[in-house]
Structure 1
Amino acid sequence: MRNNLSPYFALVENGVLNADELADAERSAAWRGINTERVLLHDFAVLRCDLLAALAQHYGCAFIQYDERLPVPTELFAGLDGKLLRASGWFPVRKLEDTVVVAAIDPDNPKMREDVQRLVPAADYEFRVALHEDIRWYTQDYLHAEAPLLIGIERTGLAYWRNTMAHWRTKLAAHRTAHARARTSMKLLRWGLAMVAISSVLAHVSNNVLSSWHLAILLVGIALALIGLFDYLKVRRARMDLPCQSALIDITTQNIQFTERYHLPEAPMAAKDNSALAKLAAAIPDYCSVLRPVPASKERTHLARERNMLAAQRTIASSHRTSYARARTGLSLIRTGISFVGLGIAMHKLLNASSYSFTDYVLIGAGCLMFLDGLLWYLPARRLKYGIGRDNKP
């Protein structure tokens, strides 16, 4: 180690800079009140590896570079004071058996070594030189600074929330698929009952004679109706809907609650209507997130925040689509039920009573059941739309 020389003099020896450039960098840093390291990196375009190699040569030790993928054991930094670490310029980064590897701005600083031995007990220590911004990144990441300052492990947390929201959206998509299958089954049932009604009308018109092609229409209609009914009941028994409609709001709220950390509370948005989902959507501003320029932060962290805000908006939109799919299924059942009740009544009143008149009552009964089942689907979605009895906020 050469205490009489600048820690960065090895850059001159290695041919990265000349002596005048190094002196200019140190004068600029002193005049601006910042670290010489920052001036070298940003103003003189010195590579990080060259700068670390020069510092390692000066202090006579290995260097360590910040890596967001490095798994730092929790036991090393649990309970440490972030302000102390930033002021002293060190952070424990690894544990190799009984040896703790410490990244430090000045590995030879006796006060720093004393703090390390007092706060991080270990059998042995290995001190490696690191850049100022690397120490700051380690401290911000692992000691959980505020959201605008997090860099590395914040992306891991954001990825976790994206996966959580994607899982919920997948479940909602499965619900919508089940509703679509139910509506398809109801169309088969509707076609089948319509063919049964046509066969009955033709038999009445033919003076209660059930010809072969009338019978064929009747049998095909019964087959289609049974297939549609069987498939619908199968989907119905598979619980194609949430246990209760309010669960859609509750789970969606839990999935997007993390977004509170990335908003400007002084710029609220008004909900488009009084529904709970609209209130959730209003909790996320149109500009998605707050991008505060942190000099040391990497741009992809900000982009990860943007992706999460957009994913939260997609999650809310998916909840809307699921609610509307439920309402659409209910309205389809109500419409079909009313149609067949009307058809059955019309057939009973306009056609002469005969041995085939039981068809009228079948159609009326089927229509009533579909109407009631449709109300069970539609009314909860209606209450959700107008926010009856709920006031959810993320």
Structure 2
Amino acid sequence: MKRVPEKYAELAAEQIISPELLNQIIQESIRTNAPIEDLLLAAGVPRHELLKALTGFYHLPFLEYDEGLLASSDVLALVDLEQLKKELWFPLLREGDEAHVIVSHPNDRKLCEHIKNRLRVGNLHLLVALPSDLIRLIENHQDVNPHFPPAAGRTPLARLRTWLADHRNLLAQHRTSLAKGRTGLAFVRTGVSFISIGLVLLRIFGVGYLIILEAALVALGLAMTVDGIRWYLPARKVGHECLRYPVTEHTFGTTILEVKTDNERPGFVRTPPIQNAEQLRGRWNRLSPIMKRRFLAIDRTDLADERTILATYRTAMARARTGLAFARTGIASIGLGTALLRQFATGPWTILDGFLICLGIAVIFEGVLWYIPGRQAGKECHRTLQETPNHHPIWDFMFQPFHSQVSVDDLPPILAIKGTYGPGIWGTTGLALERTLIAERRNVKSRLRTIMARSRTGLAFIRTGTSVFSVGMGLLVYFGLANPFWTVFNVVLVLIGTLFIADGYYWHLPAMRIKKQFPYCFGDMEIVLPDYGKPSPGWKKVVFSHEDL
């Protein structure tokens, strides 16, 4: 019915458009399946003339898109908004056995019967609207900007941000568990040291007056070792859980992060670039307040996504540090077993020496399994942080520099304020901007925390390298160069330790340079407690001073 040319004959009769051009547009509509009304508007037909022609043809009042036009909630519960976009109709109100409905093709009887059945009414009061206005009205009720998918609505985005916050909570619990596991490994290393000292004294002095001290050292070492293992086992369980989280490119509103549920584990993908989204964002000062708030909700979701990615990197690097703690424990065990094996003659105690060496090898192998993924995460993290400065800050979108304005219409609007007004924010749009700016500052701190986590991982490399270097150098100095095999073994340990130390400084020093650029690590630190019911100068602050630590 939309291809019937009679309803546009008035346009040709009043010479608003030539019959030839009208026929061309009709043929193009048939070929591309695009609404004729959209093509007529693109051809320069005035909107009011097109609506006048439709009203005269259908003998119905017309309705244009109005952001403030809202349908009742009870009638929206009966329809699927995505399906309405395809069918080109929208219900406004249902009263008794009647309903007020906006349609694009009122003379489609089959569609009218379908509307009656869907709304469960007997009579319809129809209004005619352009397809573009009708779709935009439906999108407004989906709380999305023009041409955006339903996932861009503020409610789905809020739900997604809540899930991301919960996921970051889970990652924080993992990092705490891993820190507890590393503390447990420190217990184990200390316990093994106590046991070793007690047994060495026993091997040197035998059973005598030192047996009480030797027994106390061994018992204390066993208690610390068992306690350390109890702390470590939960961390080991956490360490083997999958931490994969997709890294997506943030586009500040031209693509949307969507949730794709696969079995019980949700996945995240980005939509393809949305039609005209970049141009819409570029004309920021022409957007209505609600359209700005929708973009800001997308921005906050992108920022939450970035924080989750960085939290995943930090957790992976915490695993690497735990793996390096394993390695140090294994190195200490191997070094001790090797020293005992070379120092004392072969005998029953040799079994203990071999056990210490084998245990150290097994622990180092376990640590390497944790270390390799963490090191890869550190490299990816470094690359991600290097790309971050290329992103535009939120403030540049809200208040563009004057030199980048291309039109007088794109200049910021003059705020309707007076000198007698008190300080505050600009209603809900200003509130959304303030929340987004706070989220952006949180991201800056999250990036700094990730940089510092990379620095701590570098320091863990240095500690591990120092342990390996010290074991190799100690054996080399104590036993000398008499045995070629052991000499090569000691030199290899020294070289491996040196490589770890150099790699650790490669991770640590750049992070220190970046840390000096931020005020959060020096002097007093303030944390603002937002109270959106008050102007920002009146918000309370919590001050942390080095003197209080």
Question: Would you call these one fold, judging by a TM-score over 0.5?
Answer: yes
Q: Secondary structure at the match of 1:66?
A: coil
What is the CA-CA distance between 1:320 and the residue it aligns to? 0.8
CA distance in 1, matches of 2:142, 2:171: 36
Task: Report matched runs for 1:58-97 at 5 Å.
Answer: 65-66=69-70, 72-73=76-77, 75=79, 77=81, 79-81=83-85, 91-95=90-94
Give the CA deviation at 1:136.
7.3
**Cα shift at 1:217:** 1.3
Distance 2:246 2:105 in 1: 53
Q: Taking structure 1 as reference, are residues 77 and 216 closer, same or farther at Cα in structure 2, changes over 3 Å only?
A: closer
Mapped contact 2:325–2:367 kept (Cα < 8 A):
yes
Task: Decide whether the 8 Å contact of 1:162 with 1:311 is kept in 2.
Answer: yes
Provide the rounded CA distance (Å) in 2 between the counterparts of 1:338 and 1:174: 29
C-alpha distance in 1, partners of 2:349/2:207? 8
What secondary structure sits across from 1:252 in the alignment? coil
Q: How does 1:112-123 map to 2 (within 5 A)?
A: 117=112, 120-121=115-116, 123=121
1:373 aligns with 2:366: yes
The answer to whether the 8 Å contact 1:200/1:356 transfers is: no
Give 1:14's aligned residue.
Answer: none
Match of 2:156 in 1: 157
Q: Which among 290, 310, 323 is matched to residue 330 of structure 1?
A: 323
Residue in 1 that maps onto 2:246: 252
Q: Would you say the 8 A contact 1:348–1:360 is kept in 2?
A: yes
The letter of the residue matching 1:203 is L
SS of aligned partner of 1:262 = coil
Q: Distance in 2 between matches of 1:156 and 1:234?
A: 37
Shift of 1:118: 6.1
CA deviation after TM superposition for structure 1 residue 149, in Å: 5.8
Please give the alpha-carbon distance, in whole angstroms, between the structure 1 residues aligned to 2:72 and 2:317.
Answer: 43
Counting only pairs closer than 5 Å after superposition, residues 256-335 of structure 1 correspond to structure 2 as: 262-263=253-254, 291-292=281-282, 293=284, 295-296=287-288, 297-335=290-328
Give, in whole Å, the separation in 2 of the partners of 1:216 and 1:110. Answer: 93
Q: Deviations over 1:50-72 (max 9, x none)?
A: xxxxxxxxxxxxxx853798882
Change (3 A) 1:349 1:78: closer
CA RMSD of aligned residues (A): 4.7
Distance 2:223 2:201 in 1: 18
- Contact 2:253/2:295 (CA < 8 Å) preserved in 1? no
Q: Give, in whole Å, the separation in 2 of the partners of 1:171 and 1:375.
A: 24
How is 1:17-56 mapped onto 2 (pairs within 5 angstroms)?
Answer: none
Indicate conservation of the 8 Å contact 2:84/2:138, yes or no.
Answer: no
The alignment covers a number of residue pairs equal to: 289
Spell out, residue by residue over 1:319-344, the C-alpha distance to the aligned partner (whole angstroms, 9 max, x if none). 21121112111111112201221122
Q: Which residue in the other structure is 1:25 paired with? A: none
Superposed counterparts of 1:209-248, under 5 Å = 209=208, 210-236=210-236, 238-243=237-242, 248=243
The reply on whether 1:345 has 2:338 as its aligned counterpart is: yes
Determine the structure 1 residue equivalent to 2:55: none
Deviation at 1:142, TM superposition (A): 4.7
Aligned 8 A contact 2:152 2:298 in 1: no
Distance in 2 (CA, whole Å) between partners of 1:187 and 1:369 is 17
| CA–CA separation in structure 1 for the residues paired with 2:169 and 2:73 | 29
1:360 aligns with 2:349: no
Deviates more, 1:160-169 or 1:315-324: 160-169
* Matched letter for residue 253 of structure 2: Y
**CA shift at 1:200, angstroms?**
2.2
Letter in 1 for 2:320: A
Q: Residue 377 of structure 1: CA displacement?
A: 1.4
Superposed displacement of residue 155, structure 1 = 0.4
**Is the Cα–Cα contact under 8 Å of residues 181 and 234 in structure 2 kept in the other structure?**
no
Alpha carbons of structure 1 residues 176 and 127: separation in structure 2 relative to 1, 3 Å? farther
- In the alignment, which residue of structure 2 is the partner of 1:38? none
1:193 CA drift (Å): 0.4
CA distance in 2, matches of 1:152, 1:301: 11
CA distance in 2, matches of 1:336, 1:81: 64
Higher normalized contact order (CA 8 Å, seq sep 6+, divided by chain length) = 1
AA paired with 1:340? S
| Residue 22 (structure 1) aligns with | none
- Provide, for residues 337-388 of structure 1, a one-character-per-residue CA deviation record: whole Å limited to 9, x for no partner: 012211221133235667766553443233222112112212333455568x
- Letter aligned with residue 262 of structure 1: G
Whole-Å separation in 2 of the counterparts to 1:348 and 1:208: 21
- The structure-2 alpha-carbon separation of the partners of 1:331 and 1:182, relative to structure 1 and needing over 3 Å to count, comes to same
Residues 69 and 179 from structure 1, CA distance in 2 versus in 1: closer, same or farther, beyond 3 angstroms? Answer: farther
Q: Secondary structure at the match of 2:241?
A: coil
Task: Between 346-355 and 177-186, report the one with greater CA deviation.
Answer: 346-355
Q: In structure 1, how many angstroms separate the alpha carbons of the residues matched to 2:199 and 2:94?
A: 84
Q: Distance in 1 between matches of 2:203 and 2:320?
A: 38
Q: Can you give the 5+ residue segments of structure 2 that lack an aligned partner in the other structure?
A: 1-45, 49-67, 256-268, 270-277, 381-549
Paired residue for 1:181?
180
Of stretches 113-122 and 326-335 in structure 1, the one that deviates more from structure 2 is: 113-122
Question: 2: distance between equivalents of 1:232 and 1:340?
Answer: 17
Task: Give the superposition deviation at 1:188.
Answer: 1.2
CA offset at residue 99 of structure 1?
Answer: 4.1
3-state SS of 2:246 partner: helix
Amino acid at match of 1:187: A
Tell me, in whole angstroms, the C-alpha distance in 1 between the residues paired with 2:348 and 2:70.
Answer: 88
Q: 5+ residue gaps in structure 1?
A: 1-32, 36-63, 265-279, 281-288, 388-394
SS at match of 1:75: coil
Q: How much has 1:152 moved relative to structure 2?
A: 11
Q: CA deviation at 1:241?
A: 2.5
Residues 342/361 of structure 1: CA separation in 2 closer, same or farther (3 Å cut): same
Identity of counterpart residues, as a percentage?
Answer: 26
How far did residue 126 of structure 1 move? 7.2
TM-score, with length taken from structure 1: 0.57
Q: Secondary structure at the match of 1:120?
A: helix
Q: Identify if the C-alpha distance between structure 1 residues 128 and 183 changes in structure 2 by more than 3 Å, giving closer, same or farther.
A: farther
- Distance in 2, matches of 1:372 and 1:224, equals 23
